[in-house]
Structure 1
Amino acid sequence: MNSFASLVQQFETYFLSQKTFPQQPETLYDPCNYLLKLGGKRVRPVLCLMGNELFGDIIEDAWHAASGIELFHNFTLIHDDIMDKAPLRRGHTTVHEKYGLTAGILCGDVMAIYAYRQMSHVKNALEDVLEIFNKTAIEVCEGQQWDMDFETRADVSIDEYIHMITLKTSVLLAAALKIGAVLGGATDGNTEKIYEFGKNLGIAFQLQDDYLDSFGTDKTGKQNGGDIKSNKKTYLLLKALENATNEQRNAINTLLETDSENKVTEMLELFKTTGADAACRELVNLYSNRAFDCLDQIAVLSKRKQPLHDLASYLLQRDK
């Protein structure tokens, strides 16, 4: 069984050696190559490989599917950054900031098409793989739209927020694992368990990411406090509003209407005094435990599940 780190190296070598894009026109493909060469954790494609290896040796189809998943993920990043007006991605200038808005839009478009080209190279269970991939691609777009809609709504519930991050973030992790498992010949029961493992892992990961955006450091490669500055309806904000006294709620709403230099600092203090920060950490643990329970229920030898267990622990910064 390969470790996550080993598979990342193998995937990186395979993926970058593919020379996915032609050289011309440079104005279209240079931005694509720029983003892909920035790297990233490669979590989603490697989850596909790990889902495959959980049930047998990794087959060629899994490499094509993993590449398609990585291209699709990067397409969403390009367009998400445009919609969020984000200046940084992975600690570097975002595609639209570096190459312009038009280049960012078209670069994302073509990357999505190349993702489907990679998927079309799968020879086994192609119909099942495409069904999972298509359903997931639609859900990711729906999740992004919900996220954008929430920016203009003052009545977003925590349940709606969890539904949004499930679609926007976690279903792609879950689908990557499920596609790998399907290609590995897993039973329906096992494919559903590995999907639920990935879905709960993704929710926990996104909640943790929201937390780190506010309480982390610039080591994350993201703009510190970016969610607060852009008034994003994160779990922290929604929970703070839910728990707040009238005075605290007024303070939060006042901050949402300003761009003051102290906005981030003051909002962080309100997250703490309302208990939203502690509640977020508790919810991360809840979904983490659900994920590990699903992994435990997959009917394969425990030693085959160890790499996935280790990866989940790493992503969620758990000791076990």
Structure 2
Amino acid sequence: MINNNSKQDLNTEMITIDEAIRQVKLTVDKTLNKSPLIIREFTKHLALSKGKFIRAYSVIMCAEDKDGMVHPNAVKIAAAIEILHLATLVHDDIIDDADLRRGQATLQKKYGKRTAVICGDYLLSVSLRMVASISNKKEYLDLEIHDYVGRVCLGELNQHINSSNVNLSIYQYLKIISGKTAALFEASFLAGAIFSKATEAERNRYKQLGFYIGMIFQLTDDCIDFENTVETANKPVQSDYEHGVITLPLINALQKMGDLKAKALDKGITRSEINDAVEKTGGLEFTRMVVKKYYNKSMGVIDRLDLSDSKKERLTLLLNKASRLS
């Protein structure tokens, strides 16, 4: 719980949202470009393929207080979560044997899997060290970042255990992505809420909103695998099934076409057969319908939060970006 009367808070110089975001980017850049020499070549390569910082933005936007300002400690948490996300991507690329990430060669492709594993582990340690370095950290014990790291890992493990499982149910799939993707969004929104000095009830709503947006983000990404090209997506597409990942558009098709599932169990199915089945059964439309349900739930939470007009607008824009509505 945050102590609103803390002497440290009274003496803390708050910063604007724009300045907070600028500092997050500088912190991440410095972390990757000024790492120890033994690993700097590899982390500098990762710095070449910057992401959209959507999780870091989530922290900062949720951290905005009633005066439109942000506590500087939110910068460290936002940067830590962004570094943690990068670590998960490095490990994902190893598991998927991916060649491309954000338009650049993946670390495992350029330097090998062993180097990539170690670099991913290093980034995880850096992230946790950042969290531990915030001032007056005892006031932020509600942000149990290690628990969220565990949820991400268990989600990834659950996905691996269900690799190529054509019997995967919708419920099982949603459970997987609730860990591997939604957990880190939930952590981001909770972190921001804590720094904004939200009440316990409000923090729970922020957590819920983060979870919903994380689910939306992953489900929309599932559609992109069928719709985009490598050039537009800046990463491999049309490849989830080939890497053993069964996503919602295909789950819908497998449930509606018994002969497709039988063939998949027998000798496998081709990318062309997958695309045809997803189109025939309306797999993308079904997935977007699920996205719409999470979207409506998200808007319901936003409406229940006590927000300024500008903060509500920013959170709605973030929700629309996750849904690819803007």
Q: TM-score, structure 2 length as denominator?
A: 0.87
Deviations 1:137-164 (A, max 9, x none): 1000000000101115443211011011
Aligned partner (choices 301, 317, 325) of residue 310 of structure 1: 317
Deviations 1:167-204 (A, max 9, x none): 10011011111111102211111111111111101101
Kindly report the root-mean-square deviation, in angstroms, between the aligned alpha carbons of the 2 structures.
Answer: 2.3
Query: Hey, what does 1:75 align to over in structure 2?
Result: 87
- Aligned residue identity for 1:182: I
Quote how far apart the aligned CAs of 1:166 are.
0.8
The alignment status of 1:143 with 2:143, answered yes or no, reads no
Answer yes or no: is the 8 Å Cα contact 2:164–2:246 preserved in 1. no
Deviations 1:290-320 (A, max 9, x none): 112111111223332211111211221226x
More deviation, 217-226/186-195: 217-226
Query: Hey, what does 1:283 align to over in structure 2?
Result: 290
Answer yes or no: is the 8 Å Cα contact 1:129–1:182 preserved in 2. no
Identity %: 25
Look up the SS of the partner of 1:288 in the other structure. helix
Rounded to whole Å, the distance in 1 between the matches of 2:256 and 2:273 is: 16
Rounded to whole Å, the distance in 2 between the matches of 1:22 and 1:9 is: 20
Look up the SS of the partner of 2:313 in the other structure. helix
Answer yes or no: is the 8 Å Cα contact 1:7–1:46 preserved in 2. no
- Aligned residue identity for 1:296: D
Q: Which runs of 4+ in 1 moved over 6 A?
A: 1-4
Quote how far apart the aligned CAs of 1:24 are.
1.8
The alignment status of 1:110 with 2:117, answered yes or no, reads no
Query: Hey, what does 1:249 align to over in structure 2?
Result: 261
Rounded to whole Å, the distance in 2 between the matches of 1:127 and 1:191 is: 15
Query: Hey, what does 1:95 align to over in structure 2?
Result: 107
Aligned partner (choices 294, 299, 314) of residue 292 of structure 1: 299
Query: Hey, what does 1:22 align to over in structure 2?
Result: 35
In the comparison of the two structures, how many residue pairs are matched?
A: 310
Rate the CA distance shift 1:63–1:242 in 2: closer, same or farther, 3 A: same
Rate the CA distance shift 1:267–1:192 in 2: closer, same or farther, 3 A: same
Quote how far apart the aligned CAs of 1:252 are.
4.8
Quote how far apart the aligned CAs of 1:288 are.
1.3
Answer yes or no: is the 8 Å Cα contact 2:220–2:323 preserved in 1. yes
Rounded to whole Å, the distance in 1 between the matches of 2:151 and 2:144 is: 11
Query: Hey, what does 2:238 align to over in structure 1?
Result: 225
Quote how far apart the aligned CAs of 1:49 are.
1.0
More deviation, 307-316/161-170: 307-316
More deviation, 216-225/165-174: 216-225
